[in-house]
A and B are shown apart, each in its own frame.
Chain A
Amino acid sequence: MTLQDVVRILDCQVVASEANLNSTVASGCGCDLMSDVLTFAKPGSLLLTGLCNIQAIRTAEMSDIKMLCFVRAKQPTQKMISLARKTGITVLTTSLPLFEACGRLYANGLTGIYGR
């Protein structure tokens, strides 16, 4: 699955680094707790979260996560967008809630950190 597919499946808006939309999404991680993302997320995965603050971008950066989708129509600030761009992280937003966003991607074949 590519990021372009994610945009289609979740009806996303692309808010930063759209040049990377052809990247392959290795796995998905749905989480609002950044401590858990730092502990469990795999590099190269797509992070779906309802936590919309600058540390969500920082957490992605530290975890080598290059793609992030804010759920429940959360809109990142200009500061977050510029940090994401600087660190090469693609940022999407969807109006879907976290559960449904993850469910749709899983139903379309995207797996989680354990690959099943």
Chain B
Amino acid sequence: MAGEKDITKVQELVYEIKVEQVMCRDVIVVSPHNLMSELRELLRDKRISGVPVVEDGRLVGLVSIEDFITCLSEGKMKRRVEECMSRNVKCLYGNEALVSAVEQFDRLGYGRFPVVDRESGRLVGVVTKGDIVRGLLKRMEVDYHAEEIHRYRASHIFEDIIADKTTLIFQYRVVGKDFERAGETSSGLRKTLRRMGIPPTIVRRVAIATYEAEMNIVVFTEGGEITARVTPVEIRVEAVDRGPGIPDIEKAMQPGYSTAPDWVRDLGFGAGMGLNNIQKCADTMHLESTVGEGTRLEIGLHLNGREKHGTAHHR
């Protein structure tokens, strides 16, 4: 389906942002009882090409510079606005998504649309193509800044805490057999560590090891917890589940040894590489398991330049 492809940030935002969020609220209006001659200064000083005509707050028409010129050439400047304005004005609703505004601009080729409240019919603003572009850019900038601020705040956290010893603990619950959500924990931990300013090469090793551990919990167990403890000198990740346990850890550590069911292999996992990969990524690894009770895996990675070399991805 064509609509499912090519989804960009902007495309997502045009569905999310409403017209009232980008429109100009400070609108110049005229009354239907004004004389056409009174428009002269308004159009000239404000450099606008059309003015909404409003009576008791409700939009009743639109008078354009063309209407003004027609009156001027016919010498009928003493006419009232209501005699010269267009009445069937195409307008937008404030709570419409930007996408429908964009469609109207495309279809009708107008430079601006009055915006009215859907229930009351009152004029609430005017929107131009420029307002839409500005609104989108501003929103994208806000999203970007929000992430920058998160990163800035978190990256100073250890400097800001005054204590003899500091440990930050992040806990995650992993749901068993839920393949769709598998990876959410590792993704959350990865993003958190990045925000804390931990070097990307170390974050990558933590993320991969945690992801492998998380997949094991999802695939083999009914669920478990992953806890990360971060200090200024190291990151420790503990993955604990409630069974069924590993009967032979030595065997499980052999590359290529796997007890994964076919459905897991079909999904691109279960090749018997997980525990090895965890070991490769971590500086220390400890695995203990009791059949029928559960498994506890703990890995550690050093910070502060004591980065381990020789892992598979660092040649």
| Contacting residues, chain B, for A19 (C-beta < 8 A) | 8-9
> In which size bucket is the chain A interface?
35 or more
Interface readout for A72-100 with B: 1 if CB under 8 Å, 0 if not?
00010011011001010000000000000
Task: Tell whether, in the assembled complex, residue B5 and residue A13 are in contact, meaning their CB atoms are under 8 Å apart.
Answer: yes
- Select which of B179, B207, B267, B274 is within 8 A of A62 by beta carbon: B207
Alpha-carbon gap, A38 to B271, bound state (A): 12
**B190 contacts A by Cβ under 8 Å:** yes
Which chain B residues border A87 with CB–CB below 8 Å? 187
Interface residues of A in 21-46 (CB under 8 A from B): 32-36, 38-43
Using known A-B contacts A42-B313, A43-B313, A55-B267, determine if residue A62 contacts B180 with beta carbons closer than 8 Å: no
Contacts of B7 in A (CB 8 A): 15-16, 78, 81-82, 85
> Knowing A15-B6, A39-B277, A41-B313 touch, does A33 contact B212 (C-beta < 8 A)?
no
Q: When A38-B211, A39-B273, A85-B7 are in contact, do A33 and B268 touch as well, CB less than 8 Å?
A: yes
Question: Residue on A with the closest CB to B255?
Answer: A39
Instruction: List the B residue with the shortest CB-CB distance to A61.
Output: B187
Query: Which residues of A have CB within 8 Å of B268?
Result: 32-35, 49, 51, 53, 55-56, 59
Across the interface, B187 reaches (CB within 8 A) one of A15, A51, A58, namely A58
CA distance A85 to B212 in the complex (A): 23
Query: Are A55 and B270 closer than 8 Å at their CB atoms?
Result: no
Complex alpha-carbon distance, A49 and B276, angstroms: 23
Nearest CB of chain A from residue B104's CB, rounded to whole Å = 26
**Residue among B268, B280, B313 facing the most chain A CB atoms (10 A cut-off):** B268
Q: Does B204 contact A (CB under 8 A)?
A: yes
Interface contacts (Cβ under 8 Å), in number, total 103
Neighbour of A61 across the interface among B9, B190, B313, CB < 8 A: B190
Tell whether A5 is near chain B: CB-to-CB under 8 Å: no
The CB with the most chain A CB atoms within 10 A, among B182, B187, B190, B270, is that of B187
A35/B187 in contact, CB under 8 A: no
A40 to B277: give the CA distance in the assembly, Å: 9
A67 CB to nearest chain B CB (Å): 16
Q: Is B208 located at the chain interface by the 8 A CB criterion?
A: yes
Task: Say whether A36 contacts B8, CB under 8 Å.
Answer: no
The 8 A CB mask of B175-199 against A (1 = contact, 0 = none) is: 0000110110011001000000000
B181 to chain A, nearest CB (A): 9
Contact with A along B256-296 (1 / 0, CB 8 A): 00000000000111111110110010000000000000000
A-contact 0/1 string along B222-238, CB 8 Å cutoff: 00000000000000000
Could you say which of A13, A39, A40, A79 has the most chain B C-beta atoms within 10 Å of its C-beta?
A: A39
A1 at the B interface (CB under 8 A): no
Pairwise interchain contact B6-A62, C-beta atoms closer than 8 A: no
Cα A36 to Cα B276 in complex, Å, equals: 11
Verify A78–B12 contact, CB threshold 8 A.
no
Inside 8 A of B315's CB, which chain A residues have their CB?
114
Q: Within the complex, what minimum Cβ distance (angstroms) separates B133 from chain A?
A: 16
In the complex, B74 has a CB within 8 A of chain A: no
Q: How far is the CA of A36 from the CA of B280 in the complex (A)?
A: 13
Q: Of residues 87 to 139 in B, which have CB atoms within 8 Å of A's CB atoms?
A: none
Q: Contact check, A40 vs B208: say whether CB atoms are below 8 A apart.
A: no
Q: Are A62's CB and B9's CB within 8 A?
A: no
Q: Once the chains bind, are A34 and B280 in contact (CB under 8 Å)?
A: no
- Chain B residue, CB-CB nearest to A56: B268
A58 near B6: Cβ-Cβ < 8 Å: no
Starting from the known contacts A36-B273, A39-B280, A40-B312, 15 additional A-B residue pairs (CB-CB under 8 Å) come to A16-B8, A33-B268, A35-B269, A35-B270, A39-B277, A39-B313, A54-B180, A55-B267, A55-B268, A61-B187, A62-B190, A63-B208, A63-B313, A81-B5, A82-B7
Q: Can you list 13 A-B contacts with CB-CB less than 8 angstroms, sorted by A residue number?
A: A16-B8, A18-B8, A34-B268, A35-B271, A43-B313, A51-B267, A56-B268, A58-B182, A58-B186, A62-B186, A78-B7, A81-B5, A85-B7
